[in-house]
Chain A
Amino acid sequence: MTIADPKAPRPDQADLDKAADRPEDADQWTAKLRTAAVEALPPQRLLPDRQPAYVASWIYVFGVTTVAALGVVIATGFVLAIFGPNWWHVSSTGLFVNSLHLWSVEVFMFAMVVHLWGKFFMAAWRGKRKATWISGVVVFLVSVGAAFTGYLSQQNFDSQWISTQAKDGINSTGAGAIFNVTNFGQMIMWHIVLLPLCVVALVGLHVLMVRLRGVVTPFAAKNETPGGEPAATTAAEVQA
């Protein structure tokens, strides 16, 4: 009996790593899912190191800035959550972290709005990118809700005033029956659990959709045919 070298890769694992698709596993759901995921988003498309030459404008920076600002929003929110909702009212460090949280939200929303309008004026929904556009609009809406519940969770004069004013709008839609803006406990749960989860998941989905279709091409120039060069005339080309 020989003692196996603990540093050597386990044969079964090495075998798994090498095996892309075993014919005998083709019907397995996991294998199908992996194949579909890799086909849709191969590594080179998921994290490309080259972009079309037209991707050369400051407007492209606002998408990545939005994601970066979201990272800061989440990180500062984590710190506030660690110490609890009262901390920032009684600690100068806490107040500073709250300030970082507030300003990162302002930067996040600003960058997202510029990104949204940039994409509007590029008609970025063209070429089977409609779902990407819609997911972006949904991210914006959910982010407005996340920020709004943050304002309601501050436990200060602002939250008192905003909640007592906002209740009329929310109640008029009937949503006040289940979404009570004057209930601090409910609002803070929406703010630190439900809505951030939705925002992060939707931003992830949105970015994957962008990677799936790539960056939209410019409109045809004067000396080009409307469909580009050469004009697309078949469904296959249009769908490309």
Chain B
Amino acid sequence: MSADTHKKPRKFVQDRDAVAWKGRYEPYDLAKEFLVALIVVIILVTGLAVLFGSPDDKPVTVRSWSTADAVDFAQTAATELDGTSGTATYGPPYNLNGTAQSIGPISPGKWLGVHHPIDTAQDFVLGPLSTLPDNPQVQAALSEYQSATATQQQAWTAAYEKAVANATFTNGKLVVPKGDYGPVAALIAEETSMARSGALDGALLASRQFYGTDYTKPLLFIADGQYLANLADNQHLSGDQWGMMNETGQWPGQAWLWLYTLWYQVPPANTSANGDIQVFAIMIGLTILLALVPFIPGLRSIPRWTRLYRLIWREHYREVERGGGARAAAAPSG
């Protein structure tokens, strides 16, 4: 005797089950509907494209940044050299100088470790400067800096970083108040000149292969400065301006990210050092809830409680309430 013989009929649950339709079937031309929808979408999209176009603001280059705001560039370069910039202190996946975000003991970034190693002093400053040919002054400054003790290097860079806050850019030269910076002043001044010439853009991209498509280093360097953030702020793109979902200008951007961006506007994510992982945890949880709505009592009853379905199927209910009993009508014909 099989177990099925004793299986009780499953109770009908309105929010889980549906009965087979026993009512009328009407002609419905799916192919025609698709073609009409396609034509309407093409007309709509063409109209929107003609009326509004699409944004294409030029990217910031190290050259354009250092030309527009040489002092900000020099200040950033100094923080890359002394290891205090955002990238230098980031942690995984770039280095181990910072703490990966976590929720309690959960820290996936830490578990996966460094995958795109970046040593900002070497990769952003010393390495590119060492590629400058026939420049004895730079080579001497590099040699002096690299042969100094870590304590000495730190003393020079700390003093320089403080002074460069009051720097000016006059007559094509970076002018920093006088002080004991060792070779650091020469290194940063040369790095600024290199950046303004455009050579640093190429040097940051230089890799083993001829064709490069990985812009991680120049992007992180540029993002460490204030210049990019100021431009973004003017374009309503900052984090506290719901920036991730916006685009430059008045284009709609990724409006569908509104819920993700919302969590960055409210506590705890807008004040916590672990804000990003908190937002992701919330969104992963909500996404799982959305996917599993059909299984969750209460949540799956919301459609029935809100009764919006009455609006969607208003013709059907009108017919049923007129006493027609749509379900009881003719047997399905298709």
A residues apposed to B, CB below 8 Å: 44, 47-57, 59, 61, 64-65, 67-69, 71-72, 88-89, 95-96, 98-104, 106-107, 109, 113, 118, 120-123, 125-127, 129-130, 133-134, 137-138, 141, 144, 147-148, 151, 154-166, 168-169, 171-178, 180, 182-186, 188, 214, 216-224, 226-229, 231-235, 237-240
B328 at the interface (CB under 8 A from A): yes
10 contacts between A and B (CB under 8 A): A44-B334, A50-B25, A50-B28, A54-B326, A100-B49, A106-B252, A188-B213, A217-B21, A218-B317, A232-B19
B159 at the interface (CB under 8 A from A): no
Tell which of A49, A159, A231 touches B29, judged by Cβ atoms closer than 8 Å.
A49
Q: Mark B113-130, 1 if CB is under 8 A from A, else 0.
A: 101100000000000000
The A interface is mostly helix, strand or loop, or mixed, namely helix
Number of interface residues of B (CB under 8 A): 117
* Contacts between chains A and B (CB distance < 8 A), count: 332
Tell me whether A122 and B60 are in contact (CB under 8 A). Answer: no
Tell me whether B109 and A51 are in contact (CB under 8 A). Answer: no
B268 at the interface (CB under 8 A from A): no
Tell me whether B59 and A72 are in contact (CB under 8 A). Answer: no
Contact partners of A222 in chain B: CB under 8 A: 321
B residues apposed to A, CB below 8 Å: 7, 9-10, 12, 14-31, 33-34, 37-38, 40-42, 44-46, 48-50, 52-60, 92-93, 100-101, 108-109, 111-113, 115-116, 213-216, 219-220, 222-223, 228, 231-232, 235, 237, 239, 243-244, 247-248, 251-257, 274, 276-277, 279-280, 287, 290-295, 300, 302-304, 306, 308-309, 312-317, 319-321, 323, 325-329, 332-334
Tell me whether B20 and A182 are in contact (CB under 8 A). Answer: no
Tell which of B49, B214, B222 touches A185, judged by Cβ atoms closer than 8 Å.
B214
Tell me whether B41 and A69 are in contact (CB under 8 A). Answer: yes
Contact partners of A52 in chain B: CB under 8 A: 21, 23-26, 332
Tell me whether B313 and A163 are in contact (CB under 8 A). Answer: no
Tell which of B9, B24, B294, B308 touches A121, judged by Cβ atoms closer than 8 Å.
B308
